[in-house]
Amino acid sequence: MRNAAVSVAVFALAVAAPAAAQPRDSGGFEMRSVERLELDDAEVSLVPDPAVNLYLRAQTRLGTPVEHLRPVDLAISEDGRPIDPKSVTLTLLGESNRGMACVLALDVSRTMQGEALDQAKAGALAFLDRLGAPDRIAILSFGGKVEVVAPFSAARSDARVRLSTLEIDSSSMRTLLYDGMYRAVELVRQGGELPRRAFVVLLSDSQDGGSVHKLDEAVALAQGDGTRAQIPVFTIGYANFGRGGLEALQRLSKETGGDFVEAANPGQMAAFYDNILSQMTKSYVARFTPELDGKTHRIEVSAGGLKQARAVPYPLYRRPLWPVASLGAGVALGVGLLTWIVLRRRPAGRLVFVAGPRAGEGIALRPGRIRIGSLPDNDLAIPSSTVSRYHAEIHVSGRRVSIEDLRSSNGTQVNGTAIQMSPLRPGDRIKIADIDLVFER
């Protein structure tokens, strides 16, 4: 973790720095050295298969993400026992479809009047517009009071309107900085079904005045423990009228694995927001299969001579053993189980293009979610100017299939009717903007 503020000059170099990998003569990539390593979280998941998921960030000296990491570039151990890199998968968070949850906390005290708040809102709006479909956002303001401007449950479009119309709190001269910090982290802790990867971005130009909560309480809530993830808090300080509050921002970021940056002028705020988002989308999820024995294990990750570790409690998990009374019963059970597996793996149907150059082309609908949109990272990519980046999503559960519109620009129709969410039956005609498909089984 960084022990000091990131200077504006160094940050400018970080923004201008080239990608964190350089081509070799062989056409591959040469990884730049890892000079900062953060293991923000480690969790055990049981679905679809038991696995330990490690959420980590690797950065260069200038703070740019190290891209193109491979499992062999990391050394992962469990209680000192090395994990074979061949058994580890390593994925960029932005490519994992796991999503992330973020709280944007903005100081709206009187000292932020004018260009400072305008630029803070502009940077936050640009940040919001770059989020992907699986991401979740909440917005909080603090001045003389702390207010949740948009909860995680708010539609993205509503959150944008509320953020753009945010105004200075002229009712008080106080700035409840620590209460704002605490409430921002609390929103994540109480968020319910949010993506596991979560963080806070907090911008302020003031020192605390009158908060109920202490700085230590906000830090402790963000740090988490063995059962709760650490929530990195990224802070942006703008010393408009003195530097009294900057120390608190620095400490909060340092002790939670985030970064502190100081804006010399309001015009730099948008670039800071952009850099924070880049850090998180280009962070990694490392995954390996453990032996779930009900004990707590020390998981260590090292790269570039740096080490990070977390204690991870494993649940006790044993695969069910089917009792076999006799050889005949065992054979019957095996046949039945094999039949169930075959049926379970069979697609629930398929989507078929009706017209155009892809007419007759289809995609099998297997259990889970199939996202449709114009960007290539969608499960079904339709590169058309009329199709939104993340336009719609197919939900498959057993033989049940439904479609959800992801607040697209040109809408989604089923049998000629615009929908937000609709079940699908064989023969239903689906229109994604102006692209026609049919659901077959």
Domain residue ranges in the chain: 101-263, 349-440
How confident is the model over 396-431, as pLDDT tens digits?
887 888 999 888 889 999 999 999 889 998 889 999
> Which of the four pLDDT bands, split at 50, 70 and 90, describes residue 244?
low
> Which of the four pLDDT bands, split at 50, 70 and 90, describes residue 18?
very low
- Look at residue 331 and tell me whether its pLDDT is greater than 60: no
CATH match of 349-440 with 3.30.465.10? no
Please tell me the predicted confidence (pLDDT) of residue 228. Answer: 80
Rounded Cα distance between 200 and 179, Å, is 14
Report residue 58: phi and psi, to 5°.
Answer: -125, 130
Rounded Cα distance between 232 and 38, Å, is 10
Please tell me the predicted confidence (pLDDT) of residue 15. Answer: 40
Higher pLDDT among residues 91 and 8, named by residue = 91
Burial of 120 (0-12, 13-18, 19+ CB in 10 A): buried
Please tell me the predicted confidence (pLDDT) of residue 13. Answer: 38
Picking from 8-22, 285-299, 322-336, which range would have the lowest pLDDT averaged per residue? 8-22
DSSP string computed for 132-193 = -TT-EEEEEEESSSEEEEE-TTS-HHHHHHHHHT----TT-S---HHHHHHHHHHHHHT-SS
Higher pLDDT among residues 255 and 347, named by residue = 255
Q: What is the mean pLDDT of residues 40-69?
A: 90
Please tell me the predicted confidence (pLDDT) of residue 323. Answer: 42
> In this prediction, what percent of the chain has a pLDDT beyond 70?
84
Please tell me the predicted confidence (pLDDT) of residue 367. Answer: 83
- Is the pTM here over 0.75, yes or no? no
- Quickly name the fold that domain 101-263 has: Rossmann fold (3.40.50)
Rounded Cα distance between 403 and 422, Å, is 5
Please tell me the predicted confidence (pLDDT) of residue 14. Answer: 43
- Look at residue 25 and tell me whether its pLDDT is greater than 60: no
> Which of the four pLDDT bands, split at 50, 70 and 90, describes residue 89?
very high
How confident is the model over 131-176, as pLDDT tens digits?
998 999 999 999 999 999 999 999 999 999 999 999 999 988 899 9
What are the start-end ranges of the E strands in 46-145?
Answer: 51-59, 75-78, 81-82, 89-92, 101-107, 136-142
Query: Which residues are CB-contacts of 294 (< 8 A; sequence separation ≥ 6)?
Result: 314, 315, 316
Decide the pairing of beta strands 81-82 and 306-313: unpaired
Q: What is the mean pLDDT of residues 310-321?
A: 77
